[in-house]
Chain A
Amino acid sequence: MIGFLTRRAGAAIAVLLVLTAAVFVLQQNSPGDPVKAYLGANASPAAVAAERASLHLDDPLASRYWHYLTQALRGDLGTSYRTHRPVTADLGAFLPATVELVVVAFLFALLLGAVFAMLRTIAGTFVRGILLVGATAPPFLLALGGIILFYAHLGWLPATGRGGNDDGFLLTHSLVTGDWAQLGAGLQHVVLPALVLAVAPAVSIGRILRASLQQTLGADHVRTARAKGLTEAAVFGRHVLRNSIGPGLSMAGLQLGFMFAGVVVVEQIFSWPGIGNYLAESIPAADYPAIAGVTVVLGAVYVVTNTVVDMIQALADPRIAL
């Protein structure tokens, strides 16, 4: 267990190093000039040069990277060229909104994935069909369709924002403090973007889970369980589900990682004040500290998710040793 965590921590550090290094190397060859963006187009050449010096932009790449790493270890990811605020402050403001959106979307994905895999009624077939078609659509098309239908046409759901403050854990906070009106508004706002984000992962999870359930149902030990005279519910609950859940779980973990990247598109359409929107706005501004900061945070989330999934899988299946 400790060995497993040590290995994973090492892998995580390697991944983050590669990610940040990639951003640094690539920005060297990029066309945009962040200082012009930072100071405005009318800045004097002297001011630009001074600013470049203060941002260490003229230093050799390796020394800048080293500087970035040592600062990052102290919790300083630099200053955004665009917002002129520390990147960590920006991330702190935008990350909670993204986390809440992705967590709600992930719960939707798990739920829909389970329905996709297990429901055998007409309703199940219906949900499966809708999800299968939905998964072939690009998320922005789903979002547009959702807005046209539920906002413009039916007027059931709002189309933009979180329904409250932009920063902080709005849903969690209102739930903890018992602010039901705020919670209701927050939930109403999160439903549409979360659903859009959940469709494709739900199908991926559902497909894998379904295939794995099918395989387990045909397994010899399930025949043994039936031969014991167990009820179908007991056979399914005790002998099928746990043995099938592994592949579904690892797919869910993979999809959770993907969702943190896919959130960029969805946040932009729904004007969701999250980290994805922040990234989308930073890219045209060539705001490298911000891009690197987002990359580091999302990369870390990705690695941690995968580690947790591996641990859950080992719990579910005693044959897997960590």
Chain B
Amino acid sequence: MSDAAVVPRRFGVRSRTPAVHNTTLNRLLVGLLLLVTLIALAARLLAPDDPIQPAGDFNLPPGSPGHLLGTDLIGRDLLSRTLWGIQASWLSALAVVLVGLLVGGLIGLVAGASGGWVDNVLMRLTDLFLALPGVLVAIAIVAALGPGLVHTLIGISIVWWPYYARIIRGEVRALAARPHVEAARLAGASRGRILRRHLLPGAVPTAIVTASLDIGNVVLLLAGLSFIGLGQLAPAPELGADTARALTQLLAQWWVPVIPGLAVMLLSLVANLGGDALRGLLDGRR
């Protein structure tokens, strides 16, 4: 046996890397998404101490008895603050993605399925929003409304839906161009039935995968905004804001600013891995 008849490739990449289709691993990773959501929902029960009241000595390092992740400048339990912060970040991110998915998805579905002037009007509107620098608009909106978690969520949601509208619309248009939709029309299916049975199910996997991969982005953006003071107001726990407030301690007690940052990273990592795994599972099923 010899494989010398094969082209050697020193440059570039392999022409196709095998997709990860390890179903068990993928299911585990998607399970991780659900686990984090459960943890976020149950933060109140899981947190050992009150996140706002001091619960021990100042600046205890991680591993201290009774304070697994240590305490901050005024003695608040960092594990409790981080759990509450995870709740705020993760649920907010889910909310933003859900709003984006519903609003963008509906607009994309209607635009893609109707075509013609409806499609034109809706997509011009979407394009206008897409032409705006999203993060900047979010900053401007929050800056103008004043800091606060709800304002931040409104700000991000306003700039977030157009991506979904574009993606879903593209997917629906691609599906609508397939002969199966014409075949359904000839078979006598009504417009509503075509939308429901022949278009929507095809767009759902893409929408779900896009959304789950997006949770991580929203988590990062939220953390960034609250880091510059546009998120949750003190003293409520919020991961980005907690890091920013403890910046001066960086060189003396590094864990106080770094632990909430690591929590953000963990969330975004879980979201990315889970989203990729979900894509793997859905691709494998097609």
Contacts and interface: CB of A to CB of B under 8 A. Distances in A.
B15 interface: yes
B112 interface: no
A295 B240 CA distance: 23
A284 B229 contact: yes
B15 A141 contact: no
Contact of B257 (A144, A265, A279): A144
Contact of A232 (B9, B229, B269): B9
Contact of A26 (B144, B254, B269): B144
A152 B15 contact: no
Given A15-B131, A30-B144, A138 B223 contact: yes
Given A138-B261, A140-B223, A141-B265, A291 B12 contact: no
B210 to A, nearest CB: 15
Contact of B131 (A26, A137, A233, A303): A303
B228 A26 contact: no
A136 interface: yes
B140 A295 contact: yes
A141 B229 CA distance: 16
Given A140-B243, A298-B133, 13 more contacts: A11-B131, A19-B132, A23-B140, A26-B140, A136-B269, A137-B264, A138-B224, A139-B220, A210-B13, A232-B7, A269-B247, A283-B147, A283-B228
A260 B132 CA distance: 13
B45 to A, nearest CB: 27
Contact of B8 (A147, A152, A232, A291): A232
Interface string B232-263: 00000000100110010011001001100110
Interface string B138-162: 0111011111000000000000000
A261 interface: yes
Question: Which 4 A-B residue pairs are closest in the complex by CB-CB distance?
Answer: A26-B144, A141-B261, A261-B135, A217-B15
Nearest to A258: B135
Interface residues of B, number: 51
A152 B137 CA distance: 36
A5 to B, nearest CB: 15
A177 B16 CA distance: 49
Contacts of B261: 137-138, 140-141, 144
A18 interface: yes
Kindly state the interface size class of chain A when it binds its partner. 35 or more
A31 B147 CA distance: 10
B216 interface: yes
8 contacts: A118-B13, A136-B265, A138-B220, A139-B220, A232-B11, A258-B135, A262-B224, A279-B143
Nearest to B257: A144
Interface of A: 11, 14-15, 18-19, 22-23, 25-27, 29-32, 117-118, 120, 133, 136-141, 144-145, 147-148, 152, 200, 210, 213-214, 217-218, 226, 232-233, 236, 240, 257-258, 260-262, 264-265, 268-269, 279-280, 282-284, 288, 291, 295, 298-299, 302-303, 306
Nearest to A119: B13
A240 to B, nearest CB: 6
A299 B11 contact: no
A118 B12 contact: yes
Given A31-B146, A210-B13, A283-B228, A144 B136 contact: no
